[in-house]
Amino acid sequence: MNLEDLVRLRRARDMMDREYAEPLDVQALANVALMSPGHFSRSFRAAFGETPYSYLMTRRVERAKALLRRGDMSVTDVCFAVGCTSLGSFSSRFTELVGETPSAYRARNHDDGAAIPACVAKILTRPVRIGEAKSAPSS
């Protein structure tokens, strides 16, 4: 993959990071990257190791975790606030990435992480698929 393609893919990934709550689809992201949807999806996966949809949902779940930790929003409100349109799909993906349901995550005490700086908490609380966490090499 050439450097120009990587720059365009990064532009689309940055858009997902910024506008995760917007209704983004592969066509819109491919337009940002100046690629066809098929080429964009294949190139994105080759460059970043996951599909555009998977990356976007990870961003949405990451933001949902932060909103749920606050405790002042219902799971349904959080679902729509992060750009998901189906509570069932949101809950399934959240559970897949976090290992517990959004309701259980919201109900759990999160005080032990309050003293951690936000930049460190972001790394420590980043959602990872359960299968990936188990298969990650240990050093």
Outline where DSSP puts E strands in 1-139: none
Is the confidence at residue 13, as pLDDT, over 70? yes
> What would the pLDDT profile of 77-97 be if each residue is shown by its tens digit?
999 999 999 999 999 999 999
| Contact by Cβ (8 Å): 15, 32 | yes
If you count them, how many residues does the chain have? 139
Domain 57-132 grouped into CATH 1.10.10: yes
DSSP 83: T
User: Residue 124 corresponds to which amino acid?
Assistant: L
Chain segment 27-64, per-residue pLDDT in tens: 999 999 999 999 999 999 999 999 999 999 999 999 99
Q: State the Cα–Cα distance between residues 23 and 21, nearest whole angstrom.
A: 7
